[in-house]
């Protein structure tokens, strides 16, 4: 299924600026889960007040509505996907698209209403909302939950595609994939993927920035992209 490319448009560039303004996007030296030293870090947890979260939901909603995705409901995987999915569903409703919303618990509840899914019943074509995709593990968990409910895992919307090779643990060893995590989700798991911005958008932003404090990071980010970008 075709990935929905966001590279080079105003929405993506505005999102990079917004992420910088909120302190969500930072430059320096950061160790990733894969053990790589990244020259930048994206921490969506710092969209941490109502104004920032509301604006973030606007970026998601605009990308989703212009993407051509045809979905019946939203699913927010625990934990980061829960507030993201809720905020996006509210923004979509404000724009005239009202869809059911659900999320999962990490632990199955054995009292009250019970179960693992909270909110609407999972049915139809399900759009998953999350911040980024790392190794695709969390996506597979969401797919399993959605399939178990008899619904269709249809697509995932994320804020940033880091466009770097995914790593997987197989038989206790870390394996470096030839594909990016997003491409793995698209090609191997069969989901459509919508992203607000790509690493290429960040590079384009740095190339055109007139702020030397920002443009100085271009070289290191490009080197990282060349070193860890997908091979195919």
pTM value surpassing 0.75: yes
What are the residue numbers of the active site?
Answer: 109, 111
Are the C-beta atoms of 185 and 177 separated by less than 8 Å?
Answer: no
Query: Which among 120, 138, 231 is positioned nearest to 183, based on CA atoms?
Result: 231
| pLDDT for residue 221 | 98
| pLDDT for residue 108 | 64
Count other Cβ atoms within 10 Å, centred on residue 48. Answer: 13
Each residue's pLDDT expressed in tens, for the chain with a length of 232 residues: 344 544 579 999 999 999 999 999 999 999 987 788 999 999 999 999 999 999 999 999 999 999 999 999 999 999 899 999 999 999 999 999 999 999 998 776 554 455 789 999 999 999 999 999 876 678 889 999 999 999 999 999 999 999 998 876 666 666 677 788 899 899 988 999 999 999 999 999 999 999 999 999 999 999 999 999 987 6
Query: Which among 97, 102, 98, 72 is positioned nearest to 85, based on CA atoms?
Result: 102
| pLDDT for residue 145 | 95
Q: What is the 3-state secondary structure (H, E, C) of the chain?
A: CCCECCCCCHHHHHHHHHHHHCCCEEEEEEECCCCCEEEEEECHHHCCCHHHHHHHHHHHHHHHHHHCCCCCEEEECCCCHHHHHHHHHHHHHHCCCCCCEEEEEEEEECCCCCEEEEECCCCCEEEEECCCCCCCHHHHHHHHHHHHCCCEEEEEEEEEECCCEEEEEECCEEEEEEEEHHHHHHHCCCCEEEEEEEHHHHHHHHHHCCCHHHHCCHHHHHHHHHHHCCCC
Round the average pLDDT of the chain to a whole number and report it. 90
* Domains of the chain with CATH codes: 10-228 (3.40.50.2020)
Residue 113: exposure state from Cβ atoms within 10 A (0-12, 13-18, ≥19):
exposed
């Amino acid at each position: 299924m075709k990935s929905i490319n966001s590279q080079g448009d105003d929405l993506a560039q505005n999102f990079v600026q917004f992420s910088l303004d909120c302190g969500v996007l930072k430059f320096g030296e950061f160790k990733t889960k894969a053990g790589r030293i990244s020259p930048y870090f994206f921490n969506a947890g710092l969209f941490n007040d109502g104004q920032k979260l509301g604006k973030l939901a606007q970026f998601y909603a605009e990308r989703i509505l212009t993407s051509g995705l045809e979905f019946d409901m939203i699913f927010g995987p625990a934990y980061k996907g829960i507030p993201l999915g809720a905020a996006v569903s509210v923004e979509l409703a404000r724009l005239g698209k009202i869809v059911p919303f659900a999320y999962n618990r990490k632990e199955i509840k054995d009292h009250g209403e019970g179960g693992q899914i909270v909110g609407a019943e999972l049915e139809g074509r399900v759009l998953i909302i999350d911040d980024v995709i790392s190794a695709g593990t969390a996506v597979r968990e969401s797919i399993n939950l959605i399939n178990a409910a008899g619904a269709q895992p249809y697509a995932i919307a994320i804020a940033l595609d880091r466009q770097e090779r995914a790593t997987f643990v197989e038989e206790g060893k870390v394996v470096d994939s030839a594909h990016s995590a997003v491409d793995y989700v698209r090609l191997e798991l069969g989901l459509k993927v919508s992203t607000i911005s790509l690493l290429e958008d960040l590079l384009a932003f740095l190339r055109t920035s007139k702020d030397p404090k920002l443009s100085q990071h271009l070289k290191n980010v490009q080197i990282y992209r060349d070193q860890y970008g997908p091979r195919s």
